[in-house]
């Protein structure tokens, strides 16, 4: 786990993202740290004095029940800031999905310097979360999977036809409130229906965009 000083954020702004979604970038100046696959960045209940920005890799925010049931509350991609909490204690834990590196900064400093940007961030996270609640509460398995794929594509770098699934089936399942088997079955079913094409288990091409979008209303 190396640590080095970094000038501001060297992360390219994704150009395809609508401006409303990224109103102003939160700028983090701090130390870079790398985490191994599945390594915990912070844990539920810990002190929430640090905030983070993804440089590379993917991070998942996780809430767990005592018996091990797991809900992934959101994924964080390069450029995303995470770890800002309402109270002193972390409500969720954060883990590196694969190898990931993040910039770490003190919460207090960022709050003092960029209150506006942090507020916007909280509001857009809230909107995302409420959307997620709609998915979890009212959509069927295939609607959930399609919603996830479309969200991925929207947050994805380029407009390439082939998008990379950055997370395992288990992570998809824990994000979508399903089991790994249901996710897998749903993907192959979508493929049979000609709505997507899978290439290995980590590459998807979305076909018939229109139909896919309609599936999520």
Partner DNA sequence: CGTCGAATTGAAGTAATTCAAACTGTGTGG
Partner DNA sequence: CCACACAGTTTGAATTACTTCAATTCGACG
Hey, which residues between 146 and 205 contact DNA (CB under 7 A)? 168-170, 177-185, 187-188, 198, 200-202
Q: What is the rounded CA–CA span in Å between residue 165 and residue 211? A: 20
The residue within the footprint of a second copy, chosen from 26, 73, 100, 103 (CB under 8 A), is 73
Q: What is the rounded CA–CA span in Å between residue 208 and residue 66? A: 41
| Nearest in space to 146 (alpha carbons), one of 191, 181, 179, 80 | 191
User: Pattern 176-205, binding to a second copy, x per CB under 8 A?
Assistant: xx----------------------------
Do β-strands 93-96 and 59-64 pair in parallel, antiparallel, or remain unpaired? antiparallel
Stretch that binds a second copy, among 93-101, 117-125, 150-158, 204-212 (CB under 8 A): 117-125
Hey, which residues between 1 and 60 contact a second copy (CB under 8 A)? 20, 23
Q: What is the rounded CA–CA span in Å between residue 8 and residue 28? A: 6
N-to-C CA span, the chain: 44
CB of 5 to a second copy, least distance (A): 28
CB of 201 to DNA, least distance (A): 4
Residue 217 binding result from DNA, a second copy, none, given CB thresholds of 5 to 8 Å by partner type: a second copy
| Nearest in space to 4 (alpha carbons), one of 40, 47, 50, 55 | 55
Rule CB under 7 A: which residues touch DNA?
Answer: 140-142, 168-170, 177-185, 187-188, 198, 200-202
């Amino acid at each position: 786990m190396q640590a080095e000083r970094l000038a501001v954020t060297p992360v390219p702004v994704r150009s395809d993202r609508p401006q409303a979604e990224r109103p102003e970038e939160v700028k983090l100046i701090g130390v870079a740290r790398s985490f191994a696959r599945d390594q915990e960045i912070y844990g539920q209940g810990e002190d929430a004095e640090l905030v983070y920005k993804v440089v590379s890799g993917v991070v998942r925010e996780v809430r767990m029940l005592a018996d091990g049931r797991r809900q992934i509350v959101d994924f964080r991609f390069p450029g995303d800031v995470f770890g800002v909490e309402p109270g002193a204690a972390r409500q969720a834990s954060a883990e590196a999905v694969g190898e990931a590196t993040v910039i770490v900064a003190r919460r207090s400093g960022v709050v003092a310097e960029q209150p506006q940007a942090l507020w916007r961030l909280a509001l857009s996270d809230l909107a995302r979360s409420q959307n997620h609640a709609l998915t979890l509460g009212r959509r069927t398995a295939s609607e959930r999977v399609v919603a996830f794929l479309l969200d991925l594509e929207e947050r994805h770098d380029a407009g390439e036809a082939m998008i990379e699934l950055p997370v395992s089936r288990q992570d998809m399942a824990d994000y979508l409130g399903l089991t790994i088997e249901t996710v897998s079955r749903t993907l192959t079913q979508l493929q049979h229906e000609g709505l997507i094409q899978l290439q290995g288990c980590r590459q998807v091409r979305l076909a018939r965009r229109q139909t896919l979008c309609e599936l999520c209303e």
